[in-house]
Structure formats: C-alpha cells, structure tokens
C-alpha cells in the first residue's frame, strides 16, 4: 500500500495509526513524514521548537464575518437563476452592471410584444426584478428587506424600492428597471 498508512487494529478491534505517526503525548494523529506541529486541544502548551506561532498567526484575522441580511438570500438566488437562464436560453449576458438593465428592459418588452401570458413569465419577471435589485444593492449599498413574502430594497438614505414589482410593471408597459436603478442612485 504505497502512499497510504496501514491502520493497526487494537485489541478491541478499533483502528488506529501506527505509533510513529502520533504526536508526542499520543492524543493527536498526524500522517507519517509530516512536519511536527503542536496539537491544539491536548491541554499541553505548544512545543517551542516546533515552529508554531499561534498568537502572531491570528493577529490580522477578524472573527466577525461580513454577511448579507437573511432577507437577501432568496432575491440573490432568484437573480443568479435569472442570469444563468438568460445566458443559456436567450444568450443574453447579464453582468450586474447598470447598462445590463437596458437589455433586461428590452427583453421584458419583447415578451410583452409577443403576447406571452403573464402567468407564463411571472417566474422570469421575479428573477429579472431580483436581478435589478441586486444591481441597485451593489451600486448603492442598499439591503434587501422582506415582510409577508414580499421583498424590497432599502437604500442607505432610508428609501424603499420594489424592483420585483417594477419588473411586473415593465411587462405591463408602465415601468423600467433601468430608470428605477437611475432613480435609486440619484437619490430621488
């Protein structure tokens, strides 16, 4: 068995690594031939000769992870699905830029002109509205909020925007995702 360590069976039938691959103290296991490191959690201080410098290693590490609000999970997924669908199905490249919203508006207008039933495109409109919301969020620092199944954006100045409803209005011929983004950026 080249490249693998052979497990030794103890009297109780449990598998263990051979003694030469154990750390000093016997509580931590390491592959044979690796550099000796201190084992955290053994209750023993690090061996000063092993080269570990834990306090110095963690000085630039932040323990708090930056995350998006929970309400952003669904719209972000809807937007990503819309991007993938448009890329694969309509060969339309969406790159989360403000200019891409012009293409989205034209796509929605084309669906309306073809006479596509609203029920057939409701899922697509939700995804394209979420995509526009993600563009606004990335450009303005807005955050997604959710209540009762509805999702909207809150810009840093406190204004609320509903890009998913704007996509539906665009399909009805009375809205524009590009103009919604422009207004959100300008502070109107």
pLDDT per residue as tens digits for the range 128-143: 999 999 999 999 999 9
pLDDT tens string 70-120? 778 899 999 999 999 999 988 888 999 999 999 999 999 999 999 999 999
Domains of the chain and any CATH numbers = 72-186 (1.20.120.1090)
Angle of the 163-171 helix axis to the 177-186 helix axis, nearest 10: 140
Question: Which residue in the block uniquely carries the two structure tokens 């959100």?
Answer: 184
pLDDT at position 72: 80
Answer for the pair 31, 45: CB distance below 8 angstroms, yes or no: no
User: At 40, is the pLDDT very low, low, confident or very high (cuts 50, 70, 90)?
Assistant: very low
Q: What is the mean pLDDT of residues 27-43?
A: 43
pLDDT tens figures, 141-173: 999 999 888 999 999 999 999 999 999 999 999
The Cα-based distances of 105 to 16, 42, 166 in angstroms read: 63, 61, 10
Instruction: Assess contact for 140 and 149: CB atoms under 8 A.
Output: no
pLDDT of 184 over the 90 cut: yes
pLDDT at 67: 52
Provide the token pair at 130: 């979420």
Q: Whole-prediction pTM value? A: 0.63
Kindly indicate the confidence band of residue 49, based on its pLDDT and cuts at 50, 70 and 90: low
Higher per-residue pLDDT: 70 or 184: 184
Is the separation of the CB atoms in 6 and 12 below 8 Å?
no
Would the pLDDT of 44 be above 80? no
Q: How many CB atoms lie within 10 A of CB 184?
A: 23
Q: What is the pLDDT of residue 188?
A: 53
């Amino acid at each position: 068995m080249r490249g693998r360590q052979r497990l030794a069976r103890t009297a109780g039938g449990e598998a263990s690594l051979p003694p030469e691959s154990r750390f000093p103290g016997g509580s931590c296991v390491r592959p044979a031939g690796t550099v000796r490191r201190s084992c955290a959690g053994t209750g023993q201080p690090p061996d000063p000769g092993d080269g570990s410098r834990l306090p110095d290693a963690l000085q630039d590490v932040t323990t708090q992870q930056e995350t998006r609000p929970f309400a952003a999970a669904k719209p972000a997924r809807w937007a990503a699905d819309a991007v993938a669908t448009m890329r694969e199905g309509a060969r339309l490249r969406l790159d989360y830029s403000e200019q891409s919203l012009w293409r989205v508006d034209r796509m929605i207008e084309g669906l309306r002109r073809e006479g596509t039933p609203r029920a057939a495109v409701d899922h697509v409109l939700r995804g394209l509205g979420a995509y526009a919301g993600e563009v606004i969020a990335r450009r303005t620092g807005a955050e997604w909020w959710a209540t009762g199944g509805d999702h909207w954006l809150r810009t840093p100045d406190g204004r609320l925007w509903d890009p998913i409803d704007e996509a539906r209005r665009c399909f009805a011929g009375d809205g524009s995702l590009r103009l919604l983004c422009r207004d959100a950026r300008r502070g109107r």
